[in-house]
Structures are given as C-alpha cells and as structure tokens.
Chain A
Amino acid sequence: MKKTWKQFGSAALCGVMAAALLAGCGGAASSGATGAASGSSTVSTADTAPAGSGEFAGTKLVYWSNWEATEPQGVVITAAVEEFMQETGAVVDLQFKGRKGIKEGLIPALDADQQVDLFDGMSNKSNYGERIVSLEDVVAAADYEKDTNPVLMELARSYYEDGKLHEIPYQMKANAYLYNKGLFEKAGITKAPDTWQDFLDACQKLKDAGITPLTTDDAYAMQAFGMHLARMIGSDEVKKVVDEGQWDRPEVLATAKAFEELASKGYFSTQVGSNVWPTGQNTEFAIGNVAMYCVGTYVVNETKNITGPDFQWGFFGYPQVEGGINDQKAMVIGMQSFAVTNKCANPTAAFALIEKLTRGKWDAKLAEDTLGIPADVNNTEWPDQLAEAKPFMDNCNEIFATSGGLENNPNITPALKENLMKLYAGSCTADEFVTNMLAAAKG
C-alpha cells in the first residue's frame, strides 16, 4: 500500500512537471504570436480607449504597422489612432512590427487565424491572395477616390489580376535625381536638366567647379541605369531584358555606353565602386560632397539628421534621352499602402481608420513630420524639400516599375548590381558589361 502511494506520488509529481513544462511552452507560443516575435512593439492605445458611444463603439481592430513606434511615421500614426478611438469609440490594438515583422510574420499569423484587421507596408500586396479583401465598395461608399492622385489608384489596381482595389496608397515616393541646389548654384547651373545633354553639361560644370557630380550605393545601382533604359524602350521592355536575358539589345549597349562616358569623364565619385548602402548616400551626398544621387524622395527623411535644415534639396525627373520613347512625364512612382484582411469583421471601421490616416490633418501631419508626400490631393502644401518633385508627380502619366523594371528578376539582380558598380567605377567597359550580363543570364 505504502509502495503504491509512493509510486502514485512519483507519477503525479512527474505529471505536474510535464504539465508545467507544456504550459510554459504554450504560454510562450501564444505570447510570441501576439507579441510578434521579431522585435515588434505594441503601443498601448487599446488600453486608453474610451468606453465611448461613438460610431464604432464595441468594435475592436488589430492594426499591424510596418513602422517602428519611434519612427516619425510611428509617432504620427499613434496619435492619429488615439484620436480615432476618442471619436469613434472603437478600440484599436496598434502593433508596430517593423518591415521584417510584416514580411516574415503576417501571412503565418493570418494562416493561424490570428486576428489582424488591417496592416500597412510596401505596395503590391498581391502575394497575400485571398487574405486581403477588395476595398472597392468601401471606397465607393466613402467617395474616397477623388482625393488621391488617379495614377496611383491605377497603380494600386494594376497589381491584381481582377483589377480591383485591394490597397490604399499613402507615403508616396518618386524616384529620380535628388540634388544639392547649393552645389548647383556654386557651379553656375541655374536650371535643372531636362535632357541627357543638359545633364552632361551640368555634370561638366560641376566638375569644373571642383564638385563631384554623381554617386550611388550598391543597393540603388539599378535605379539610374534602369530609368535610362526605360526612357529608351519603356518599362515593359526593360522587364523583358532582365527576364529573358535580352542583354544583347542595342539599347542596352547604348545605355551602358552612356554610363561608361559618365565614368570616363570622371563624373562619378572615385569611391563609388565600393559604396555599400548607405555609405554614398550619407557620407558623400548628404554631407554635401557630391551633387546628385539617383534615388527615391524618402532619402530626404532618411538623411535629415545629417543634412540639417540648411541643405537645399532639389529634384528633377530622369532626363529625356535621344531616341527615347517617353519623356519626364513617365517616371518611377511608388508608395506604402494599407490593406484590410479577410479576418476583419468590420471593414467599414478599418477603412474609416485608413481614411483618418490618409486624409486631412493627419495626412498633412504625416507628410510634414516624415518629410514625405501627402496622399490627399487637397493637402497641397508639400515639405519645402520636396517642392520640386510636386510638378513631376502631378504631371506623371505613366508609371515605371521600380528601377524602370530592371529589378524584376531576383536571380539576375546580384550580377547586375555587381557589373553596374564596376561600370560606374570605370573598371569595366560598356561592351564588357553586356558580355558579363549575357554570361550571367545563361547561368
């Protein structure tokens, strides 16, 4: 009898230990799921919500953001969400997941039936498939579309086979040449270049004034070359070049020759070949050693702590090239966007929050604090740093893919990046560039 009790006691003790272990694992797993493993932070907006009787009282929304809570975007979004809760009575659980958190964690979370009602992040969310819903109805009901640049709405629809709107644009960007107006003035350049010849003239004047005209970083090496090629053959044809290995097209060689000329005339920084992002952006362009950098308008916000308030920002669309098929009205434009998931029980409330963030004062605040481009066309006051980008975006009638489509094949991008950096550094000729790319395309 005594032995039986001892055995029972031992077994019970082991059972409790095992249960405690499993409970520990279970607890960790669930907190990991809601806390978003990869360095996310949750702002306690849900705790401060009023028990109000507004329009969405009793509604709870879980919002995953791809920003960090401490970034300017995160700070503005937090304040806007708090106001939304005060006004509508909704409870919003705002969780800042960062770019990686969204990229790596959102689809597994949705597939595990975790509640996430809306999220933001890079545009083109077509890979989410049925996990995100069409917003056509809520957009039409709110008469929302009229206040967004129509080209961007068209771009947002173009990502989806059904041609419907699944994402709402905000935090737009335009890619082309950002330049230092102070250095341009010092070199006696009074007008930003419109054509390739103007561009070459500007480079020469800068060089004559002892100023390095151009630099780039490895991560952005594809931008200028891609836009140049897209000027010649259009963005769709550029994608064919990279997808089908059409590197022997004469336009590719002509584009490579154009950059070979820039390198041979000494227009690129002497260290361009070794620039690992953000070295060129921060230590050459932002500190005022180099005049031009081909990148997106987001660089203004990224470098504001280096440039300070006195940096005179300028922007011009990629110059028109001889024999090209488009002009500066065709350009690379992109955006961040919001989407609503199929887990959302109240898409109207989720869209109301999106509308709050992309219209009126909060959209203006986002643009002001992030030195970005407003989503609401009625917010006509752009940050001074981006004033020159506004006419280009307003007049845009054709949108190029990122880098003119030159990054469309991830298998070829690394070889392309390496050879472009060599071309810019002058350590490879245009002919060698074409030969190397043909070899890389054959695998």
Chain B
Amino acid sequence: MFMKRNRSMILAFVVPSTLLFLATFIYPIIRTIIMSFFSIQEITDSMGKWHFNGIKNYIDLLGNGLYRQSWVNLFKIFFIGGIITLGISLIMAVVLKSGIHGKGFFQAAIYLPNVISAVAMATMWIQYVFNSSYGLFTNLFRALHLDFLANIQWLDAGHKFWALLLSYCFGMIGHFMLIWVSGIERISPDYYEAASIDGASKVEQFLFITFPLLKGILRTNIIMWSISVSGFFIWSKLFSPISADTTTVVPMIYMYDKLFGAENVDKISRDAGSAAAIGVMLCLFIVIIFTLVNRCIKDDDLEF
C-alpha cells in the first residue's frame, strides 16, 4: 500500500519537471537539428517558410575557408589551451595542497579572475597588458633590457591568437584548480604517509599516487573544458571587435554572424539554417569528446 502511494507521489513530482525538461531542452535540440536541414532566413520564421535543402548547409559550411579556419582555431584552443590550463591548474592545486603557508590567500587570488567579468578581463589584457607602447609586457621587458621581448607586438596578426589564448587560460586556471583541489582532498593522507616512510619523493608521490587517483577528475575537467571551449565567444569578440578576424574567429562567432547578419554589406543576409547546422556541429564536438574521454580514461580500476 505504501509502495502504491509512493508511486503516485513520485509520478506527481516527476511528471511536471519531466514535461518542462522536454519542452525547454529536448524540443529546442530536436528543432535545431531539423532546422539545420532547411534553408531558413529568420530564426522565428514559421515552418511554412522553411525550404528543405538536405545537407547543403553542412556542405556549404565545410566548403567555406573562414568556417574551417574557425574550427582550426577552436581545436588549437582546445588542445593547446587545454594542456596549459589543466596542466598549470593541476600543478597549482598540488602545490596548494602540499601545506604551503597562505594557502587560502593563494587559492582566492588564483580564482579571482573568475569572478571578474570576461569583458573587463579582456579589456584589461588588450588595453593595459598587450599594448605595444605603454603595456605591462612592453614596460616590464624594457625595464629588464629584454628588447626582443619588449618589441613584440602582441596583438598583430602573427601573435594575436597566442595573446588571446594566454589571456583566456589565465582566467580559467583558477576554476579548474578548485576542481583539482577537491579531488586531491578526497585522497587519504595515509597513502602519502606510507609512501614517505617507504622513501618516495614528492614527485614520485605525485606521479604514482596523486595523478592516478585523479583520473576521474581529469575526465570531468576535460569534458568541462570542451564545453567551455565550444561556447568560446566573448573573448574572441573582444579581441576582434566589430568584425571577425581570421586569427581569432571561432564557430560561435561565425554562427552569430550567420544568424544576425554581417553589417556594411548591400544585402544583409541572415541564415538561421546554417546557424543551426553550426550549433549541431558544436554539439557533436562535445559528444565526441565526451565519448572519447569516457573510453580512454577509466577510473573504475582503482578504489580508495
């Protein structure tokens, strides 16, 4: 009898939220996938105005040099930025958990860029760090008499991508560091104590205890990084305001211009169908990363 009553209670609570979930998440996803196979001008056009064109949106996009470049940039951010961000954040987490003084301060200081608006952060980097006449890097390297570094124009075509990547990673390190810290805190100090008694160095302890026991966190961090990178937009927009730039364009920027139309042209063209196709490809990117990471990194072989 209790089971029966519980079942109706469970249904009463679950059904509304399930319906809302279907309406607000599943329906837009399915609609976006369908839209990607149609020629649609405005996102709000009724279905009567849609024209089926099969996979033409996908073919046109993949045949476009700028769109392909946007994916090249995205993969560079994902791989190179991922190694920098996850690597440095892991090192910082390990150092912070090694018992140094002022741990709370450093933890807060490293996380601080995450609470500052991305717009303010990007403006700071562009206007006050990378500026080639009075910027921090220019003045610092000049003071150190490192003229070859002081003369680098950080925001010219040859360096702009790296400047963007550096500033983005700087802001993201604190976020991932906290996740690593939470993983390290789960590891019992007994392992380290036993390893120390057996004569293991700090580096050996990291390589043979900490890192293997953080595999689950590594998996989470890679998936979260792929989600952050696939939505990469505001930094790119601020590093090349008004119109896109080959060195900083990413799929989201291309999608925005497709959806809302580029200005300063005779005929403003808005293409919601192609924008939907870009959305689908970005979604696939995350799904593929998710699948690969789950296949390659398994953490169920260790119990602690």
Contact = CB atoms under 8 A, between A and B. Distances in A.
Interface of A: 3, 6-7, 10-11, 14, 17-18, 21, 25, 103-104, 107-108, 111-112, 122, 124, 126-127, 218-219, 239, 271, 273-277, 279, 283, 401-403, 407-415, 417-418, 421-422, 425, 427, 440, 442-443
A201 B226 CA distance: 55
At the interface, is chain A mostly helix, strand, loop or mixed? Answer: helix
A417 B245 CA distance: 7
Interface string B257-296: 1001111111111100000000000000000000000000
Nearest to A278: B241
Given A10-B12, A111-B42, A414-B66, A271 B133 contact: yes
10 contacts: A6-B5, A218-B245, A273-B156, A274-B159, A279-B127, A279-B155, A410-B244, A411-B64, A418-B245, A442-B65
B153 A414 contact: no
B267 A14 contact: no
A33 B241 CA distance: 27
A407 B243 contact: yes
Contacts of A403: 264
Contacts of A17: 16
Contacts of A422: 156-157
Nearest to A419: B157
Given A277-B242, A414-B243, A126 B156 contact: no
Given A443-B63, A443-B65, A274 B155 contact: yes
Counting chain B residues whose Cβ lies within 8 A of the other chain, the interface size class is 35 or more
Contacts of B247: 418
B44 interface: yes
Given A11-B12, A274-B130, A413 B239 contact: no
A417 B240 CA distance: 10
Interface string B118-149: 00000000110011111000000000000000
Nearest to A408: B265
Contact of A273 (B130, B134, B157): B157
B226 to A, nearest CB: 25
A403 B264 CA distance: 8
Contacts of B154: 274
Interface in B180-222: none
Nearest to B65: A443
CB-CB nearest 3 A-B residue pairs: A443-B65, A410-B262, A274-B153
Contacts of A418: 157, 245-247
Contacts of A126: 267-268
Contacts of B269: 127
A18 B11 CA distance: 13
Given A14-B12, A271-B153, A410 B265 contact: yes
B9 interface: yes
Contacts of A401: 264, 266
Given A6-B5, A276-B126, 18 more contacts: A3-B5, A7-B5, A25-B20, A104-B260, A107-B42, A122-B263, A274-B155, A401-B266, A407-B243, A407-B264, A411-B64, A414-B243, A414-B246, A418-B245, A425-B153, A427-B156, A427-B157, A443-B64
Interface string B41-65: 0111100000000000000000111
B105 interface: no
A11 B131 CA distance: 64
B13 interface: yes
Contacts of A6: 5
Contacts, number: 130
A103 B260 CA distance: 7
Nearest to A289: B133
A111 B44 contact: yes
A421 B156 CA distance: 8
A33 B288 CA distance: 36
A411 B12 CA distance: 52
A49 to B, nearest CB: 31
Nearest to A124: B268
Pick from A271, A276, A409 the residue with the most CB of B within 10 Å: A276
A393 to B, nearest CB: 20
A412 B257 CA distance: 13
B65 A108 contact: no
Contacts of B131: 279, 283
A218 B249 CA distance: 14
B8 interface: yes
A214 to B, nearest CB: 16
B44 A127 contact: no
A411 B239 CA distance: 18
Contacts of B261: 127
A343 to B, nearest CB: 14
Interface string B17-49: 000100000000000000000000011110000
Nearest to A99: B263
Contacts of A14: 12-13, 16
B63 to A, nearest CB: 7
B149 to A, nearest CB: 14
B265 A414 contact: no
Contacts of B244: 410, 413-414
A407 B265 contact: yes
Contacts of B263: 122
Contact of A18 (B16, B66, B240, B246): B16
B105 to A, nearest CB: 34
A219 B266 CA distance: 18
B65 A402 contact: no
Pick from B126, B156, B262, B270 the residue with the most CB of A within 10 Å: B156
A366 B146 CA distance: 51
Contact of B249 (A21, A409, A414): A414
Contact of A275 (B155, B239, B249, B266): B155
Contacts of A279: 126-127, 131, 155
A409 B265 contact: yes
Nearest to A273: B156
Nearest to A109: B44
Contacts of B264: 401-403, 407-408
Given A126-B267, A274-B130, A219 B66 contact: no
A72 to B, nearest CB: 21
Interface in B158-191: 158-160
Contacts of B64: 411, 443
Contacts of A442: 65
Contacts of A103: 260
A361 B42 CA distance: 39
Pick from A10, A277, A401, A411 the residue with the most CB of B within 10 Å: A411
